[in-house]
Structure 1
Amino acid sequence: MIPSVDVTPNQNGLPGIAAIEKIVGALLTFGLIAAVAGIAISAIAWAIGSHSSNPHIAGRGKTGVLVSAGAAMLIGAANTLVTFFSAAGSAVQ
């Protein structure tokens, strides 16, 4: 017979949890700023590629815009995604 394991996350297990939460929040902010910069730079590359009849540069700009927008979406939804999958994992028996 396999013994059951019942370990749950807690807020009091380690010192410094509040500091780590602040650091992660700062990383989320940095990621969103980088996504905005990525969209701006990629849109400029897209425009330059389109106006100079360079489909390679225009395509790379389009890809950059989509990747940066996707990154911003994932960063913005990070808390919700982790909460959802944590709840889904807790429901598994």
Structure 2
Amino acid sequence: MILADAVRQLAYDPGIAPAEGGLPGLSVLKTVVNSINLFAVIAVVGAMCVSGLVWAWGHHSGSHGAEAKGKQGAMTAAGCALLLGAANGIVAFFSTMGTQVH
């Protein structure tokens, strides 16, 4: 009987789902997150510019370490830009996948 109770507890659905407008201040929170995203995109553009300069300086001065760090910074900035741009899609995808778990 104890095993049957444990299985019954696992199958229990609490009925929780995201609801728009459930809390006051949701529009303010969305505005804050959008502003943080914009700030991050601007920071990534700056990081890409600095990395490009370090990469070029390393290449032309013969400093292989600086050239490698410039390439690494450029790739990191590109990856960050990809994640910032795809954040809504990634969260929506995994949220949808999560609702299909039974």
Please state if 1:61 is matched with 2:85.
no
Structure-2 residue corresponding to 1:49: 58
Pick the structure with greater CA Rg: 2
* TM-score normalised per structure 1: 0.96
Identical aligned residues as a percent: 35
Give 1:83 shift.
0.3
From 52, 71, 95, give the equivalent of 1:86.
Answer: 95
Please state if 1:21 is matched with 2:30.
yes
Paired amino acid for 2:29: I
Unaligned ranges ≥5, structure 1 = none
**More displaced stretch, 72-81 vs 6-15:** 6-15
Distance 1:15 1:49 in 2: 52
Structure-1 residue corresponding to 2:83: 74
Root-mean-square deviation (CA), in Å? 0.8
Distance 1:30 1:55 in 2: 32
Distance 1:78 1:4 in 2: 28
Unaligned ranges ≥5, structure 2 = 1-7
* TM-score normalised per structure 2: 0.88
Give 1:10 shift.
1.0
Give 1:4 shift.
2.1
Give 1:12 shift.
1.9
Q: Report runs of 4+ in structure 1 exceeding 3 Å deviation.
A: none
Structure-1 residue corresponding to 2:3: none
